[in-house]
């Protein structure tokens, strides 16, 4: 996407300028050269398999897989699907794809089967890399979609899949391998990532080589000289993509683990002396509340980056109280425009006084907040839709020009997030435009009500949804605690104006969520705000 077509408004929030280059030949050429400069340095540690791998090993294995993919008929711009947990071999496939000019399309291993079919049908991958957990699912999806994609399994030979280990055993000579040179990295796709699908089916976002290159430079500026990092995000999420590529760009050791477990995570941080960890807010709270934080020496941990889920004032206070020597840094990120659009500045103490803010605009970005109806810029402390422009802009939604055009306003991407900013440039995200509640002609963010409900000591999580007739607070209570609807309504009525009171409260065991943990509010609305009427011959669903 092109930068804004006309000068930015006076109310545009603009980050510092970070110098970038254009003639680096694409990510494959760049990363292959960077790895060559430090062949003996450790690149990644896989705690599940026990593998510790140097830059030299990553480089040579990636070249070998690139050669084998070419032998399998993979050419420039072919799509390589990757569906597995984050592990050492996954890194090799991504770099190998860059080397031959192919496009990497990661899918979350926990993706619902129906959504997986829809995405694979659009992507039409030439080859799919899976682990034992996802191989059968992807085989089934390929069969149901009628595609003829080759299957590669990270492990031993399977009935319908090529063994990744077998590809590495080839005798091909790789000393003089020449990677594909990308002449226009701004226009060539490196990754296709799915959106979270919070308000509907996931869309596929095309990200260029230059997007990834620029984001890694920005992210390195945001971080405070990291040496080892640990992340629990899937490769299908923009954050994990940038972290993987950051470790190609600069000398940082990337630690790969299995499923998040509090005690195992604390032990890993202690034993490997990890200084930077990336978690969503829920996992960060689970970590600090667990007894394991007192059983292990976490003095090496300097910063925990949190984001992707709503983070409240109470969340931040809890995190800081439990681990006061660790910097809990919030990020504002979205797949279409990057993993770090806004972030707390280097002065961490200032961020503690701005609890609830996602940070200030970072390098090479411009932000605006516009009125939802008039689409004009609003004053500080006024809410509106957040618009983003900068060097890191998606090329568009994959094969969806109409949706791409609808997402833009004068060169700015319309995030769909309700936000405001204060006179100092701190940005606060208040919710989503599609989730706004219409109360007697006034638009109200459900987060205003949710934040109050979350202050009740028995409430673990809540989501407020509505239609034209009622406002419903869906609530999950903590553990074995009990509270009645009447008591919770009384608690709410004492703290919010009468027009914002929920008309009813529904207690639930869990919410429908994306693999990242975001609540699927469209699914929740369908479950809660519709009545299914059964007839003898057919079923109909009628909105209340």
Q: For residue 313, name the pLDDT band (cuts at 50, 70, 90).
A: confident
219-258 b/e (C-beta count within 10 Å ≥ 16 → b): bbbbbeebebbbbbbbbbbbbbbbbbbbbbbeebbbbbbe
In the chain, how many domains are there?
2
The CA-atom distances, in angstroms, between 360 and each of 13, 342, 356, 400 are 9, 5, 12, 32
What is the pLDDT of the chain when averaged over all its residues? Answer: 89
In the block, which residue shows the tokens 């899949």? 161
Residue 76 lies in a domain: yes
Q: Is pLDDT larger for residue 157 or for residue 543?
A: 157
Question: What is the predicted pLDDT for the residue at 436?
Answer: 87
Residue 384 lies in a domain: no
pLDDT tens track for 124-157:
999 999 998 899 999 999 999 999 999 999 976 5
pLDDT tens track for 476-510:
999 888 999 999 999 999 998 888 899 999 999 99
* Proportion of the chain above pLDDT 90, given as a percent: 69
- The predicted model scores a pTM of 0.88
Residue 336 lies in a domain: no
pLDDT tens track for 223-267:
878 999 999 999 999 999 999 999 999 999 999 998 999 999 999
Question: What is the predicted pLDDT for the residue at 172?
Answer: 61
Q: Within 10 A of 484 (CB to CB), how many other CB atoms are there?
A: 10
User: Which CATH number does the domain housing residue 35 bear?
Assistant: 3.40.50.12780
Out of 187, 208, 229, a domain closes at 208
The partner residues of 192 in beta bridges, in order of sequence, read 206
Residue 86 lies in a domain: yes
Residue 430 lies in a domain: no
pLDDT tens track for 341-353:
998 877 777 887 8
Residue 382 lies in a domain: no
Out of 191, 208, 225, a domain closes at 208
The partner residues of 21 in beta bridges, in order of sequence, read none
Q: For residue 2, name the pLDDT band (cuts at 50, 70, 90).
A: very low
Residue 533 lies in a domain: yes
User: Which CATH number does the domain housing residue 464 bear?
Assistant: 3.30.300.30
Q: Domain of 496?
A: 436-543
Q: For residue 23, name the pLDDT band (cuts at 50, 70, 90).
A: very high
Residue 531 lies in a domain: yes
- Residue 158 corresponds to which tokens in the numbers above? 């399977």
CA 232 remoteness from chain centre: 11
311 pLDDT more than 90: no
Out of 147, 182, 208, a domain closes at 208
Residues 6+ apart with CB under 8 A from 202: 115, 118, 119, 194, 195, 196
- Residue 385 corresponds to which tokens in the numbers above? 């839709």
Please give the average per-residue pLDDT across 535-542, as a whole number. Answer: 37
pLDDT tens track for 158-170:
667 889 988 888 7
């Amino acid at each position: 996407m092109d930068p804004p077509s006309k000068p930015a408004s006076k109310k545009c929030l603009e980050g510092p300028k970070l110098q970038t280059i254009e003639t680096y030949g694409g990510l494959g050429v760049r990363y292959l050269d960077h790895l060559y400069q430090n062949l003996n340095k450790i690149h990644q540690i896989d705690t599940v398999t026990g593998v510790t791998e140097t830059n030299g090993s990553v480089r040579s294995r990636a070249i070998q897989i690139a050669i084998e993919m070419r032998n399998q008929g993979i050419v420039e711009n072919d799509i390589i699907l990757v569906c597995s947990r984050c592990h050492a071999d996954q890194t090799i496939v991504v770099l190998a794809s860059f080397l031959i000019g192919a496009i990497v399309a990661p899918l979350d291993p926990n993706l619902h089967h129906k959504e997986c079919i829809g995405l694979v049908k659009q992507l039409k991958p030439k080859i799919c890399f899976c682990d034992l957990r996802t191989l059968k699912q992807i085989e089934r999806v390929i069969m149901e979609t009628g595609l003829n994609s080759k299957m590669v399994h990270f492990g031993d030979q399977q009935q319908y899949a090529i063994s990744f280990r077998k590809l590495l055993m080839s005798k091909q000579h790789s000393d003089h391998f020449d990677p594909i040179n990308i002449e226009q990295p701004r226009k060539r796709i490196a990754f296709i990532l799915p959106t979270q699908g919070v308000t509907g089916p996931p869309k596929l976002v095309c990200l260029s080589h230059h997007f990834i290159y620029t984001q890694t430079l920005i992210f390195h500026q945001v971080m405070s000289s990291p040496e080892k990092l640990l992340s629990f995000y899937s490769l299908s999420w923009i954050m994990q993509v940038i972290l993987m590529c950051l470790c190609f760009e600069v000398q940082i050791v990337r630690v790969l683990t299995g499923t998040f477990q509090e005690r195992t995570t604390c032990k890993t941080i202690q034993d490997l002396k990890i200084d930077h960890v990336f978690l969503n807010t829920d996992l960060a709270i689970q970590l600090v509340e667990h007894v394991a934080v007192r059983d292990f020496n976490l003095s090496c941990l300097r910063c925990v980056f949190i984001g992707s889920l709503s983070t409240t004032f109470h969340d931040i206070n809890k995190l800081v109280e439990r681990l006061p020597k660790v910097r809990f840094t919030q990020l504002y990120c979205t797949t279409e425009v990057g993993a770090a659009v806004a972030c707390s500045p280097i002065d961490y103490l200032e961020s503690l006084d701005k609890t609830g803010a996602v940070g200030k605009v970072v390098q090479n970005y411009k932000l605006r907040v516009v009125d939802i109806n008039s689409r004009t810029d609003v004053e500080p402390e006024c809410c509106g839709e957040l618009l983003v422009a900068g060097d890191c802009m998606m090329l568009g939604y994959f094969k969806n020009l109409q949706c791409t055009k609808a997402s833009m306003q004068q060169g700015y991407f319309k995030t769909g997030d309700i936000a405001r900013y204060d006179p100092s440039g701190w940005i606060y995200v208040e919710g989503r435009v599609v989730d706004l509640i219409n109360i007697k002609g006034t638009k109200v963010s459900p987060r205003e009500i949710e934040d109050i409900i979350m202050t009740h000591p028995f409430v673990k999580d809540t989501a407020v949804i509505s239609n034209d007739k009622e406002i419903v607070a869906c609530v999950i209570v903590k553990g074995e605690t009990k509270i009645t609807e009447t008591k919770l309504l009384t608690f709410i009525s004492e703290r919010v104006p009468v027009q914002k009171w929920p008309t009813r409260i529904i207690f639930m065991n869990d919410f429908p969520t994306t693999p990242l943990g975001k609540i699927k509010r469209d699914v929740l609305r369908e479950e809660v705000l519709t009545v299914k009427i059964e007839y003898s011959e057919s079923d109909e669903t009628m909105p209340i």
